[in-house]
Amino acid sequence: MKKIIFTIIYFAAAAQLFSSTEILLKENFENPDKNEILNVAKFGSVSLKEVVGDSAIAGNASLEIDASVERGWTSLVKIPLTSKGNYKFTVKCKILENPRNANVYVAMRQMTNGEKNRVSLKKLSNKKQAQTVSVGGVIFNEGELEIISNDGIKIAIDDILIEKFSAPTKGAWMFEENAFIGMRYEPTNFDFCGFDAPFLNYSKDEFFPFIDRFGQFKHKDWEGKIHSVEDFKKRIEEEKKIYRKIGNISKRDKYFGLIDPDRKYEATGRFRTQKIDGKWWLITPDGNLFYSFGITCAGNIDSTPITDREFYFEDLSDARFLRKNQYGLHYYKKKHDSYSFLERNLVEKYGENYRDVYGEVTDERMRKWGFTTYGCWTQPYILRRGNIPYTAMTNSGKKMPYKTDVEMYAYWHAFPDVFTPGFRESTFNSIAKNADLLRSPACVGVFVDNEIPWQFKTLTTIRALLGCNADQPGKIEFMGDLKKKYGTIENLNKAWKSTYKDWNDFLSRKDFSPDTKAGTADMLAFEEKMYVLYFETCRAAVKAVSPDVLYLGCRFAWRNPLVEKIASRYCDVISYNVYTDNITKFSSVKGCEDKPIIIGEFHFGNTDKGVYGGGLNSRCTVKERKQAFEEYSISAFENPKVVGAHWFQWFDLCTTGRFNEANYAIGFVDICDTPDYVISKASRKLSQKMYKLRLAGKQSTVQSMEKGKAVIDD
């Protein structure tokens, strides 16, 4: 790799804190014989071409990166960062071709304990116009800058700038590795504080504790921040005043379906689906058109871990809100104590028995914000009021996890073995526990499980199964099927070109999977059998409790074509959690049965208030978050397959992270239960136009993306 000569300059905007900057790379592609990036960057399976003249993003030349033939996650360009420092990466990008609506990200990651961890991530807008993107943050040892896409795409890049900043003198400690623990995003997150926030130069004595008694960040102020207990009562009166003024949305039945005498359909007393003029709809129990515009987790109380970091917090004095946790991820993958500032704030705001009134509060907000459905993890005491339609959340039964030597993708938990003895019985029992919720006319449908780690490619799961221990139930079941087909181990060896000594050896061996045509067919057949067993069992368990409730599937987060095809046979509506900008053209994979789709989760977060991270689809400001929310929602209304889309989630996540370290400003209300009226106003306007937009059938979001215009008037 060619050595880069560093130049020292002074950066005026951050002069008080970061006294100097090293420019590590400055590339404008104007001199093709001296393109520095070609010496320091690694390119994926892409082709490169110079773009010149009027087609260039800036100046006379840009670099085109063509990965249009790729499928799945693709690294377009990667630049190693080989030393500790505070980095900022800026690049101009333009999407040239995007035939499959791929997402493109600019990322900064660092290596921690052999794993890549995100430092900063920005998603490119899908608009075909030039855009400047910056990511930044602290690299403790080594890391990388990368532009990646989740499917084939062609883009152009230009004006790359990589800067390395020196840490402030007094605040240098907070840029050290493990200065903070248990948080996905730290106070030093570039997207949150830039390089000029005063607190970046605080000593430890000045900085700690940095979380106030309400769970808020101490060293920054913003509109709506709670400063005293008395502020809670003021917030209640402010909210009531706003709602008295705006009233409810008109022309809605008691389920928030559209009242239109010309569009009346069979009333069955339950929610159902119907395809009308080539477009899927939900129909209310009263026979009216319905769109499931929802929000998840109403009333769901998060807590933040405090073990090993009690000194972060100003006040943990009220022991009623201490929690003992058995489950967590990352740093807190162990038993730990946590504290619920959120619940303490609800008690301060509404009283000791806040649940007696909070259901009424949430129902009123839903009506005024224009949401028509409580999504997953809304608390049962709210759902059982029966005033607002909802989707119920249940889980399938006991499943032994895969214990395999073969690498599998698994975020929340290991891959579950549906051949575990008792799986069917325990699934029926698990779903029956929610019988009253499933049988209510207000129940739109029921999800069973969430974000199961389906592998991205067919046969990955079965190859992993062959790498499991001899007592793995699925492996034993697979052996039984092979015995029936082949009879003897010799016949199997011949078909698979394997060397098993006997059937016990088949179970014991963990280092072999077949590559023959027969072996591939056997694995494929068993993988399909696995998926059929799962979805058939879940559907049967749901229908045993309530035959006419809609089975909404398992909320796909990771896509696998075979799984989707099997799911489409058994689900009344197929569910996906889709964190992208636009779903106008979103669909199940080719080969699925024609079934409607519901989006179980999406969101956009902002980093201009008191929480350090902006979630899985981050924006810098509240205004930018509002615009992204509008475009996504309208694309969902206009997609003929999509019958609902649910925002994740009701509350912001804890400032210092929850059990999995996530700390995102993604709520419609903050940790002190103060609504964000910018986005709730946008939600109401969207709801007022929702049925008109869906009935019109146009794709206005595609047009707005091409023209770069907003789609909802203020």
How confident is the model over 474-493, as pLDDT tens digits? Answer: 999 999 999 999 999 999 99
The sheet carrying 390-394 orders its strands as 443-448, 390-394, 373-374, 292-295, 642-647, 597-602, 574-577
The half-sphere exposure of 389 on its side-chain side, counting CA atoms within 13 A, is 31
Mean pLDDT, residues 24-38 = 86
Does the pLDDT value for residue 710 go beyond 60?
no
pLDDT for res 151: 83
Pairing state between β 390-394 and 443-448: parallel
Mean pLDDT in residue range 437-452: 97
Interacting residues of 551 by C-beta distance below 8 A, sequence separation 6+: 445, 446, 448, 538, 539, 542, 543, 570, 571, 572, 573
| pLDDT per position as a tens digit, 634-673 | 999 999 999 999 999 999 999 999 999 999 999 999 999 9
Q: HSE-up of 652 (CA within 13 Å, CB side)?
A: 29
Q: What is the 3-state secondary structure (H, E, C) of 611-655?
A: CCECCCCEECCHHHHHHHHHHHHHHHHHCCCEEEEEECCCECCCC
* pLDDT surpasses 70 at 243: yes
CATH class of segment(s) 7-207: mainly beta
What integer is the mean pLDDT of 19-34? Answer: 83
Distances (CA, A) of 335 to 307, 321, 327, 343, 678: 9, 17, 7, 21, 39
Answer yes or no: is pLDDT of 6 > 80: no
**What CA dihedral angle connects 358, 361, 366 and 367, to 10 degrees?**
140
How much is the pLDDT for 317? 95
Identity at 477, one-letter amino acid code = E
pLDDT per residue as tens digits for the range 132-145: 999 888 888 889 99
Predicted pLDDT at 190: 85
CA distance 556 to 576: 4
pLDDT in tens, 541-588: 999 999 999 999 999 998 899 999 999 999 999 999 999 889 998 999
Average pLDDT, the chain: 91
Task: Between 1 and 334, name the one with better pLDDT.
Answer: 334
For 356-405, give the secondary structure using H, E and C: HHHHHHHHHHHHHHCCCEECCCCCHHHHCCCCCCEEEEECCCCCEECCEC
DSSP 175: G
**Distance (Å, rounded) from C-alpha 21 to C-alpha 23?**
6
Residue 188: pLDDT above 60? yes
Burial class (CB in 10 A: 0-12, 13-18, 19+), 622: buried
The confidence band for 706, taking pLDDT boundaries of 50, 70 and 90, is very low
Does the pLDDT at position 708 exceed 80? Answer: no
Instruction: Tokens 């943990």: give the residue.
Output: 316
Rounded-to-10 torsion of CA 311, 312, 314, 319:
-70
Residue-wise pLDDT tens digits, 258-274:
999 999 999 999 999 99
Spatial CA neighbour of 73 closest among 9, 132, 130, 150: 150
pLDDT, residue 332, reads 92
N residues, the chain: 714
pTM, rounded to two decimals: 0.88
Residue 3, pLDDT score: 31
Whether the per-residue pLDDT at 329 is higher than 90: the answer is: no
Percent of the chain with pLDDT over 90: 77
Confirm if 112 and 81 have CB atoms less than 8 A apart: no
Looking at residue 700, its pLDDT comes to 63
Average pLDDT over residues 422-448: 98
Cβ partners under 8 Å of residue 16, min gap 6 = 196, 201
Q: Is 714 a residue whose pLDDT tops 60?
A: no
Q: Answer whether residue 32 shows pLDDT above 90.
A: no
Does 709 score more than 50 pLDDT? no
Region 518-522: mean pLDDT is: 97
Closest CA to 67 of 39, 36, 96, 46: 46
Is residue 642 within 8 A of residue 584, CB to CB? The reply is no
Tell me the two tokens of residue 668: 């419609």
d(CA 190, CA 137): 5
Q: Residues 26-46: what's their mean pLDDT? A: 86
| pLDDT surpasses 80 at 704 | no
Mode of pairing for the β-strands spanning 373-374 and 292-295: parallel
pLDDT surpassing 90 at residue 411: no
Q: Which two tokens stand for residue 118?
A: 């995100």
So what's the pLDDT on residue 70? 85
- Is the predicted pLDDT of residue 291 greater than 70, yes or no? yes
Work out the pLDDT band at 20, boundaries 50, 70, 90.
low
Tokens standing for residue 342: 């959120």
At residue 10 the predicted structure's pLDDT band, cuts being 50, 70 and 90, is very low
Residue 11 pLDDT > 50, yes or no?
A: no
- What's the pLDDT score for residue 17? 61
Note every long-range contact of 5-12, with CB atoms under 8 Å and residues 24 or more positions apart, other chains counting.
6/164, 11/163, 11/165, 11/195
Q: Where are the domains of the chain?
A: 7-207, 464-528
Reference 360, options 381, 333, 341; nearest CA is 381
pLDDT confidence of residue 414: 87
**How many CA atoms within 13 Å lie on the side-chain side of 629?**
31
- Flag whether pLDDT at 14 surpasses 70: no
Whole-number Å distance between alpha carbons of 393 and 642: 19
- Asked whether the predicted pLDDT for residue 707 surpasses 60, the reply is no
